Amino acid sequence: MAEHENRPAPGLLPAADRIQIGPVDVSPQYSGHVSVPAALYAEKETAETRPKGYFEGVVFRRFKSIGFETDLVHQAPFNIIARQQRVLILSEAEESVEKIGRMLEEMINFSKLSNKPIIAVTKEDAELEIPTILESELRTYSSRDIKRIIRNW
C-alpha cells in the first residue's frame, strides 16, 4: 500500500535521467513536467491570427457575423477561409482590384486544385474571372446569399 501511495500517478512520465525541473514546492510526481502558461500561448495565438489590415478585419468579422467559422491565412493566394456546415469558401479580402488581378491566376489554380470555391471581396467594382462581392454589398448579404453566388459560379 505504501508503494502505491508514493508512486507517481499513472500517465505522468518520469523525468529523463532523474533530472527534476520546477520550483521546490512542486510535488515530486510533477517533476520534469514543464508547462507553458496558458496566457502566453493565447497571446501568441492571437498575434498570429490577427487581421493584417482594417479591410481584411471588416470582411473577416462580417463572414463571422453571418454564421461562418472563419480563419485567417497568410502567404496564400487568399486570406480568409470561411466554413459553414459542408461549405468551405476561400476568400481574398483586398481593397486593391489590381492586387487581386495579379494573384488571380494563383487563386483560380488553388481553387481548382482544392475543389473549393473562391470569392474576392473588394472595395471597388471589378470584373474578374471569379465571383466578386463589394464590401458594401457584403454587409447586406446572408450566408445563403453567398452560397448562392458560389453555386452559380
CA angle 5, 8, 12 (to 5 degrees): 150
122 grid coordinates: 473588394
| CATH code of the region 42-151 | 3.40.91.50
pLDDT in tens, 44-94: 445 556 777 888 889 989 999 999 998 888 777 788 888 888 788 888 888
pLDDT in tens, 90-137: 888 888 888 888 888 988 988 888 888 888 898 888 888 998 889 999
pTM: 0.63
State the Cα–Cα distance between residues 72 and 65, nearest whole angstrom.
Answer: 15
Whether the CB-CB separation of 89 and 146 falls below 8 Å is answered with yes
- Position 18 scores a pLDDT of 52
